[in-house]
Structure 1
Amino acid sequence: MTEMILLDPVRVLVGPDQPLQEQGAALLKDGCLEALGDQARETARSAGIAPLAAGHQLLAPCLVDSHSLLPEPFQSQGETLQSLVRSAAAGGYGQIALLPEASGNRRELPDQLQGFRPDGCDVAVHLWGGFSQGGKGEQLTPHADLIEAGAIGLSDGTSLPPVPLLDRALTLGESGASPVLIPPLDAVLRGEGLLREGPEALRAGWPNDPLSSETLPLSQLAQLQLEHPQRKLILMGLSTAAGIDLLRRSASPPAATVSWWHIVTSSSSSAATAASWFVSPSLGNSKDRDALIEGLSEGLIQAIAVHASPLDDEESLLPPDQRQRGIAGHQHVLPSLWKALVVSSGWTPERLWDVLSFGPSRMLGISEERLIPGSNRWLLFDPDEVWTPTRSDPWSSKAANQPCLGRPLDGRVLQCGLRTPANPDD
């Protein structure tokens, strides 16, 4: 049976080049966007469909995640590719770019880029190709072959390749116009540090991560971008005020991303210092958080990434220094950022979408998401909906390390037109 819904009024954001419509209208039919504005109203009137008032809700393009990890995409007790795209769509994400893993899914040869498109799924899964063989930073992978085979760009995941190897790769230029995603993180300088150095880390009793673990590699990467202006170098996951200051003073600053968790919390929060939520790069204090938000406002940072690092139940029970750092939960991102940036910092929805959808698309070199009649690439967000995430929800991530589980969130994606694989537990 065909179902048609007229949302009128509803706030509508069509795309990056159009302002938000406060009193818009949208006609939805079986998951597709049939029409907008007066055309939607006229079509609904002809069909005898009464309008549904949704003036506080927002109809907008899907979100884009520029980098996340998925250790076991096809066989896992925790998050799989199917559960990831299902929960991502429930959070409004229409595109996800997956990083190479430290072991296993390195994606260093063209044939290793296959099998990441689930049947009956509209969530686009992009793949970062491995930058160096085995992620060891010694020999380059066949960059040109990987890009030709469909890799969205090149990265060694959470590892920083040696600067001489990076310089060589940028000089050879086999990546072409595709991005090279590099974390400004020196693992040796970080050592066992779990929180950025400062009073908060000392009071909590956790090992300190010095500022130099970000600022030193960032300076080198900024210099490489200056020497290779024709290459698309991206800094993955800025986390400090000092890093923002360095970027601001760079003659030719590279593009940059930041993790959503660094925008919504800091080491000043008792929840952030809990052993369950240590991330990479390490959380800084409230000044670092404020500087990152300012960096987004200035355009120094172009994308907020989810950077999900899902763990299963067994892995999450390991001591902090023995497990992979990180959190997961695409469904938690938009509500948390809406509260942190729109409600608390006075951002407009257009600006938020620029760093959650349009900016990440430009960074990845793909077409920007937009509302198009006849398409199912849309989301409907209600900033006033209060809900409590649970793992029993069939649309929830299967990861055990979701920081917002069991506590109320303000704001929720009510619907998303994207098709996703059926949940085997349904």
Structure 2
Amino acid sequence: MTEMLLLDPVQVLKGPGHAVEIGGAALLRDGRLEALGEAARAAAHAANITVQDAGQQLLAPCLVDAHSFLPAPFQGQGETLNSLMRSAGAGGFGQIALLPDGETRRERPEHLHGFELKDCDVDVHLWAGFSQGGEGEQLTPHADLIEAGAVGLSDGGAIPSMALIDRALTLGECGSAPLLISPLDLNLRGEGLLREGPEALRAGWPGDPLSSETVPLSQLAQLQQEHPERRLMVMGVSTATSVDLLQRQPKRPGSTVSWWHLIQSSSDSAATAASWFVSPSLGDDADRQGLIEGLRNGVIDAVAVHALPLDDEECLLPPDQRQRGVAGHQHVLPALWQALVVTRGWSAEELWDILSFKPATLLGRTPEQLALGSNRWLLFDPEQTWAPSRDDPSASKAANQPWLHRAVKGKVVACGLRTPKSHCG
């Protein structure tokens, strides 16, 4: 049976370079965008279709996640590829790029197969390993990996030696594909759980010095100057000082920031919320404000979810013994809408630029946009309140999701993308 729905009025964002249309109309047929504007109204009138008032809702292109972890994509009780695609699609994400860390590091062309899911429209892009074993000493076959379909090269949360990065940039086997490098010196970070400052001291958690990010970032920025023809990307900038450092570069490397660093800081109940320990470490409110300003003025290119799903058993470990990260793609758009659009006056166009259009560009993909006949759309209601629950069939299986069973304002109420059925997770 054919399902048809007319949203009238509804706010419409068609794609990059377009302004949001207030009081628009959209006709949906079996999950696909059939028509917009007056054409939608005329077709709906001819078919005698009931109109749904969606004046406060926004019909827009799907979101894009430039990098996230998925340690066990094909087995286990925690997050799998099926469950991630299901929850990400429910959160409006149409593309996700997975970092190479996991049960099998993707260091050979044959490791890039098996990620295509039946009846799933969420596009999975794969970062391949930059160095053998992630040890930062020997390069993987970059050219072969890119030819096999890798979106770029990365060692995930570890940083290779600068000499090896310089060698890779000089050889240029990656061609125009990006090298995604985390500016994190683990030796300088030590046992630090929060960025050094009064908040970490008051909470009694070990501090992470600013130098653990600024020292490697300075070196990466210098390498970009020496190899301007290469695409170097800095993964997860986390301090205001780093934003200033990038702003001073005549040739800036590409850069991302985790969504979590835009809505939380070390001053937010750091003494009790172990789930806030992420990598890179959270800074203070000045860092958060610096990151937001860096995004708005283009110093930082895009927001990444940078999810690291943990299972229940790992979440029982003490904070200094567990992996650092949060998960939950369904939380991202509501949280950033509140933090940037509602609180700071950003436009929807600006938000989609950093959460959809620019991440796609960083991945070398065409930006998402609304197209007639396509099911690549989401419908977001900024006023709807909901309570995230792991019992929801579309929810992530990760145990380290924020705000479980707490009221969250803003929700993706519909998305045209097909995702795996819940029993397949």
Distance across 1 between alignment mates of 2:120 and 2:243: 38
Distance across 2 between alignment mates of 1:71 and 1:52: 42
Tell me, what secondary structure is at the counterpart of 2:423?
Answer: coil
Tell me, what secondary structure is at the counterpart of 1:64?
Answer: strand
Asked if the contact 1:266/1:272 (under 8 Å) is kept, the reply is no
Query: Structure 2-normalised TM-score?
Result: 0.99
Query: Structure 1-normalised TM-score?
Result: 0.98
The CA deviation string for residues 45-94 of structure 1, in whole angstroms up to 9 with x for no partner, is 11111321111100000000000000100001110000000000000000
Asked if 1:315 corresponds to 2:302, the answer is no
2:395 matched residue in structure 1 = 396
Asked if the contact 1:15/1:370 (under 8 Å) is kept, the reply is yes
The one-letter code sitting in structure 1 at the alignment partner of 2:98 is L
The one-letter code sitting in structure 1 at the alignment partner of 2:408 is L
Closer/same/farther in 2, CA of residues 271 and 402 from structure 1, 3 Å limit = farther
The CA deviation string for residues 25-57 of structure 1, in whole angstroms up to 9 with x for no partner, is 100111111111111111101111132111110
The one-letter code sitting in structure 2 at the alignment partner of 1:133 is Q
2:66 matched residue in structure 1 = 66
Q: How far did residue 173 of structure 1 move?
A: 0.3
The one-letter code sitting in structure 1 at the alignment partner of 2:196 is E
CA RMSD between the two structures: 1.1
Distance across 1 between alignment mates of 2:38 and 2:159: 52
Asked if the contact 1:272/1:278 (under 8 Å) is kept, the reply is no
Distance across 1 between alignment mates of 2:358 and 2:376: 17
Closer/same/farther in 2, CA of residues 118 and 271 from structure 1, 3 Å limit = farther
2:337 matched residue in structure 1 = 338
Distance across 1 between alignment mates of 2:282 and 2:116: 33
Q: How far did residue 404 of structure 1 move?
A: 1.8
Equivalent residues in 2 for 1:87-166 (5 A)?
A: 87-101=87-101, 104-166=103-165
Distance across 1 between alignment mates of 2:59 and 2:295: 23
Distance across 2 between alignment mates of 1:404 and 1:112: 35
Asked if the contact 1:63/1:94 (under 8 Å) is kept, the reply is yes
The one-letter code sitting in structure 2 at the alignment partner of 1:61 is P
2:422 matched residue in structure 1 = 423
The one-letter code sitting in structure 1 at the alignment partner of 2:168 is A
2:245 matched residue in structure 1 = 246
More moved, 66-75 vs 47-56? 47-56
2:301 matched residue in structure 1 = 302
Asked if the contact 1:265/1:272 (under 8 Å) is kept, the reply is no
Q: How far did residue 272 of structure 1 move?
A: 7.9
Asked if the contact 2:204/2:271 (under 8 Å) is kept, the reply is no
1:9 matched residue in structure 2 = 9
Q: How far did residue 271 of structure 1 move?
A: 5.7
The one-letter code sitting in structure 2 at the alignment partner of 1:67 is H
Question: How many residues are matched?
Answer: 425
Asked if the contact 1:267/1:273 (under 8 Å) is kept, the reply is no
1:29 matched residue in structure 2 = 29
Tell me, what secondary structure is at the counterpart of 1:424?
Answer: helix
2:259 matched residue in structure 1 = 260
More moved, 270-279 vs 294-303? 270-279
Q: How far did residue 3 of structure 1 move?
A: 1.1
Distance across 2 between alignment mates of 1:182 and 1:138: 15
Distance across 2 between alignment mates of 1:271 and 1:355: 27
2:77 matched residue in structure 1 = 77
Distance across 2 between alignment mates of 1:391 and 1:257: 28
Distance across 1 between alignment mates of 2:228 and 2:92: 34
Tell me, what secondary structure is at the counterpart of 2:48?
Answer: coil
Gaps (5+ residues) in structure 1? none
In the TM superposition, structure 1's runs of 4+ consecutive aligned residues that sit over 4 Å from their partners are none
Asked if the contact 2:199/2:270 (under 8 Å) is kept, the reply is no
Q: How far did residue 273 of structure 1 move?
A: 5.5
The CA deviation string for residues 328-361 of structure 1, in whole angstroms up to 9 with x for no partner, is 0000000000000000010000000000000000
Gaps (5+ residues) in structure 2? none
Distance across 1 between alignment mates of 2:372 and 2:316: 47
Equivalent residues in 2 for 1:196-215 (5 A)?
A: 196-215=195-214
Q: How far did residue 156 of structure 1 move?
A: 0.3
Asked if 1:359 corresponds to 2:328, the answer is no
Asked if the contact 1:179/1:231 (under 8 Å) is kept, the reply is yes
Tell me, what secondary structure is at the counterpart of 1:362?
Answer: helix
Asked if the contact 2:327/2:401 (under 8 Å) is kept, the reply is yes
